[in-house]
Amino acid sequence: MSGTFLGMPAFPTAAESAVADPQLRHNLRKATRTIRRTRRTVVGEVDDWAGLRAAGAAIKDRTLRHLDRHLERLEEAVTAAGGHVHWAADADEANAIVTGLVRATGESEVVKVKSMATQEIGLNEALAAAGITAYETDLAELIVQLGEDRPSHILVPAIHRNRAEIREIFLRTMADWGVPAPDDLTDDPRALAEAARRHLRDRFLTTRVAVSGANFAVAETGTLVVLESEGNGRMCLTLPETLISVVGIEKLVPTWQDLEVFLRLLPRSSTGERMNPYTSMWTGVAPGDGPREFHLVLLDNGRTDVLADEVGRQALRCIRCSACLNVCPVYERTGGHAYGSVYPGPIGAILTPQLRGTASEVDASLPYASSLCGACFEVCPVAIDIPEVLVHLRERVVEQGGRPGERAVMAAASWAFGDERRLGWAQRTAGGARSLVPRRLPLGPAVAWTDTRDLPEIPPEPFRDWWARREKEDGR
């Protein structure tokens, strides 16, 4: 994965800073609760949502089991339709492929459809190093780019910004990237949208190369699918002469019949709509219609390693709807930047450590960025058991030598619980020393835990001793 977010503090440290920002918490609370409410309404309209959800999970699992065959089928179909397929094992290879393709056109600018895969590999930075400027065209991504910020949500990358902040960003920086914002710009949403529209329209009409991702790729016909709400994506996909799509290998669906299930699941789970306003599909190239040249870059970047993990592989079912973020009590209070990755929230807490490994402090902390309440599992449209994977990854962190304090505590607990006499001795010792136990631990690995809660009060005697004494007093 890209190093774009590396160097950030581990989740607990980043989260502590985030929860101290009242404006951020207000923005997140307002946005996530609105999305939750609309999602609940449209999901409730589906007679058998549970059945549809199970169908989506089954299609994804079946596809992943035979991913090699479906990828080859996709390559054949794209090639037959006039496209070119490139295989990228990691971020460096993908960036080199895209950079080379852009250079071959002689252009130094590209427009982009919102794409998490290109954020994952740090494509914008790689292009900039090669003297190529990438212009984001999704409204939220444009806000992030103009503000020299980072995305904090899968669906709404600028969810941490309110409209007053967006107005200031437009007035301050839009002119540096092209058509400036009007001097009398207000924070009315329609005025902000119009300023973005005027800024982007010239870019669409003059830029000859576009870079996109894809929500889905249909193996049987080589068709790629992008769902969006603004129409900017369609401009990117149709107006430029060259289109380069960077797509994770897990985005495959075998057939159009399979795609139909996800076109019902995704809009309801993401934007709370019955269908997306814009669903764009393209298959290779067609003379006189759309781009003259199409390149598909199929990205691995750790996905085959995830596929090899029998528990963790279910993360590859993800369709990037962001429903898990919108219900997560941790995300609602910390926002996405605290996760140190382009994939924030519960899904990021299980996907990033698998793609990037758990060697760094920030990645090793992500499986612990959850209360394990299970709300994410309940809303996931493809039934990813995120709490199960979180616990699985916590085991991995401990086995790799991380969190030595936890390993020592668990070993001591195993020793005490393994023998009735040892347990009784430990309980009586703790009860006798109860007056010496502080409410907050001053040192040691548990100090962070007691920063936000008191230690439970230790009873004066173990339950078994109390029960035996009560039985004796009652003469039983």
Per-residue pLDDT tens digits of the chain, which is 476 residues long: 444 455 578 898 899 889 999 999 999 999 999 999 999 999 999 999 999 999 999 999 999 999 999 999 999 999 999 999 999 999 999 999 999 999 999 999 999 998 999 999 999 999 999 999 999 999 999 999 999 999 999 999 999 999 999 999 999 999 999 999 999 999 999 999 999 999 999 899 999 999 999 999 999 999 999 999 888 889 999 999 999 999 999 999 999 999 999 999 999 999 999 998 999 999 999 988 999 999 999 999 999 999 999 999 999 999 999 999 999 999 999 999 999 999 999 999 999 999 999 999 999 999 999 999 999 999 999 999 999 999 999 999 988 876 666 777 778 888 888 888 888 888 888 888 777 777 777 665 566 667 777 777 888 888 888 888 888 887 76
Number of domains composing the chain: 2
Q: Are residues 430 and 289 in the same domain?
A: no
Residue 19 lies in a domain: no
- Given 304, 326, 360, the domain boundary residue is 304
What residues have CB less than 8 Å from 443, skipping those under 6 apart? none
Among candidate residues 260, 283, 304, the one where a domain is terminated: 304
Q: Are residues 96 and 217 in the same domain?
A: yes
Q: Output the six-digit token pair for 54.
A: 């199970």
Give the three-state DSSP class for 437.
coil
Query: What is the domain range of residue 251?
Result: 67-304
- β-strand 133-136 against 209-212: which pairing, if any? unpaired
Residue 417 lies in a domain: yes
Q: Is position 333 within any domain?
A: no
Whether residues 286 and 175 fall in one domain: yes
Domain membership flag for residue 372: no
Break the chain down into helix, strand, coil percent, rounded to 5: 55, 10, 35
Last residue of a domain, one of 304, 332, 359: 304
> 300 and 157 share a domain?
yes
Q: Is residue 363 part of a domain?
A: no
Whole-structure pTM value: 0.88
CB atoms within 10 A of CB 235: 22
* Pick from 150, 140, 161: nearest CA to 21: 161
Q: Please tell me whether residues 246 and 122 are part of one structural domain.
A: yes
